[in-house]
Structure 1
Amino acid sequence: MDDQWLAGVDGCPGGWVVAYVTPSGSEVRVRVERRFADIVTAPEAPAVIAVDMPIGLPERVGPGGREAENAVRPRLGARQSSVFSVPSRAAVHAPDYGAACAAALATSEPPRKVSRQLFMLTGKIREIDALLIADPELAARVFEVHPEVAFWRMNGEAALAEPKKVKSRPHPPGLAQRRALLIGAGLPAVVVEAPPPKGAGPDDLLDALACAVTARRLRAGVATPFPDPPPRDRHGLRMAIWA
C-alpha cells in the first residue's frame, strides 16, 4: 500500500533529519526531528525506520569493531573510512571521553581507545539503544543502515569515486553523484535537489534520502544484512548493516 510511510534517518546538528517516504518513493516529506522518539510517534507512523546509527552493542570487540563494520568496509574502496568502529556497550555508555577510552581499552582486542568523532555520536547511540531495549516491537522495525553502503548498492555495487566532503567542506562533485543516484532510485528531483531543512547540512539530507531508499528495499523484502545472518547483542538487538 502506497499510503504507508517509511523513514530514512540521519543524525544532524538539529537532532535527526528524516525523509518520510512512501514505498514507491513518489511522495517524500523531509524535516528535522529533535528526538528519535519523535520519529516513532510522527503522524506518518513509519512502518520501517532505516537509520544511519549503530544498533546493537557488543560486550567486547575485535579488530575493526563489530562484524557489521568489517563486512561492509571492503566494498566501499576509498569510502570505507566513513564506517566507524563501534566500541563495546560499556564504552558507549561511559559518562565522559576519558571513561569511554578506559572502557574501550579494557573491552577490545587489540586494545584501542574511542575516536573523538565516534564519541560525539554516543549520545545518539544511547538514545536509540534505550528505546529499542524498552520496546521489542519497535526494535523489529528499526534497522541500522549506512548511506555509503546504500549508495554502493544504488551504484551497481561499485564504490563511489567522489567523497561528500573534502576538508570538512561540501564537495560538489560528490554531492552531484549522490543526487543522481537518488533520482535514479525513484526519488523526486525536487526533493533531492532542495536545500536541507534548518538544522541539517546538504550531506545530512542526502544521507537521510539514501537511508530512505534502503527503507523501501527493506519494506519490499529485498534488502540484505551484513553480516548474514546478523548476530545479536545481549539485549537481542540485531548487529548488522542493511542494504
Structure 2
Amino acid sequence: MSGDDQPGNVLVGVDGCRAGWIAVALRPGDTRPEVRVFERFADLVAEFGPNATIAVDMPIGLPDRTSGSGRGPEQAIRPYLGARQSSVFSIPARAAVEAETYREACDLAQVCSDPPRKVSKQAFFLFGKIREIDSLLQADIALRHRIIECHPEFSFCRLNNMVPMATPKKIRGAVNPEGIAQRVELLASHGIDSAFFGKGPPRGAAMDDLVDASVNLLVAGRHAKGLTETFPSHPMRDRYGILIAIHG
C-alpha cells in the first residue's frame, strides 16, 4: 500500500490493545505505514489531524434498546463469518454501556433488551473504550464523518471475496501463528508488505492487534474512496445522531 494509492488525507486503522490503542497510519506520499500506541483515543485523533479518516474496531453508536443478539451491526455481519462469529460480541443498549459495574450493566441490559439479555464479560471489558469514542463523537459532530466503526474479521472476509478466514487469530487466549500468517498473506495481497510485520507489534500491543489495526487501515482507505458499505444497509442513529453501523 503506497501513498500514491490513497486520497490526500491520513488514513488510520485502529484497534484496542493492552496499553490503550494501536494505530497503523499511512500519510500522503508515504510508502510504508507507521505504527503508534496511544493511551487515549483523543490523543490519537489529535495526532493525525482534522482530515484523517479513522477506522476503528470498537462499537460506535449506542441504541436505547436492543432486539435480539446485540445491536443491528453485530446481527448484520454474523451470518457472513461462519466459524469466526464468536469474534462478534453482542453490545447492549446505551444505559448498560454507561453502567459502572458489571452487575449494574447486566441489570440495565436486561431491562433494555428484548428478549432480556445480560452482558458478557468480554463485552463489558470494552465499555470503557466504547465510552472514550462516544464522548468524542457526542462533543464534535465533524468527527462523526471521519471516524467509522469496522470489525477486523468481517474486514478480512470482505477482502477475501466474502470468504471468512479459515483459522482463528487466537486459540484459548494465545496467538495462533497459522491464523496470523493467513491474514498477513491476505494483507500483502492488498498492498501491505508482509515485511511490515517482521518486527512484530510495538510495546503494549500484541501481534493480533497489529494485524487487526492493519486491516482497519485498508478499510479506512476504502472508505475514503467511497467504497465501503454499511451493515446493516439501512442503519439507525442513536439519540445523539451517531450512526449505528459497521463499515466494510
Would you say same fold, with TM above 0.5? yes
Cα distance between partner residues in 2 of 1:234 and 1:94: 17
Q: Which residue of 2 aligns with 1:92?
A: 97
1:176-225 deviation per Cα after TM superposition (whole angstroms, max 9, x unaligned): 00000111110122223331000000000000001001000001111111
Contact 2:9 2:52 in 1 (8 A): yes
Cα distance between partner residues in 1 of 2:194 and 2:121: 36
SS in 2 for 1:42: helix
1:185 alignment partner, one of 179, 186, 190: 190
Q: Which residue of 2 aligns with 1:133?
A: 138
Give the unaligned 5+ runs of structure 1.
none
Q: Which residue of 2 aligns with 1:168?
A: 173
Contact 1:18 1:30 in 2 (8 A): yes
1:49 alignment partner, one of 29, 43, 54: 54
Give the unaligned 5+ runs of structure 2.
1-5
Residues 31 and 45 from structure 1, CA distance in 2 versus in 1: closer, same or farther, beyond 3 angstroms? farther
Residues 146 and 43 from structure 1, CA distance in 2 versus in 1: closer, same or farther, beyond 3 angstroms? closer
Contact 2:7 2:224 in 1 (8 A): no
Residues 162 and 193 from structure 1, CA distance in 2 versus in 1: closer, same or farther, beyond 3 angstroms? same
Q: Which residue of 1 aligns with 2:110?
A: 105
Percent identity (aligned): 49
Cα distance between partner residues in 2 of 1:65 and 1:24: 40
Cα distance between partner residues in 1 of 2:182 and 2:210: 14
SS in 2 for 1:152: helix
| 1:230 CA drift (Å) | 2.0
Contact 1:2 1:24 in 2 (8 A): no
Contact 1:4 1:46 in 2 (8 A): yes
Q: Do residues 216 (structure 1) and 224 (structure 2) align? A: no
Q: Do residues 236 (structure 1) and 241 (structure 2) align? A: yes
Aligned residue pair count: 243
Q: Do residues 156 (structure 1) and 161 (structure 2) align? A: yes
TM-score (norm 1): 0.96
List structure 1 runs of 4+ shifted beyond 6 angstroms: none
More displaced stretch, 63-72 vs 43-52: 43-52
| 1:112 CA drift (Å) | 1.0
Q: Do residues 15 (structure 1) and 20 (structure 2) align? A: yes
SS in 2 for 1:177: helix
TM-score (norm 2): 0.94
Contact 2:11 2:52 in 1 (8 A): yes
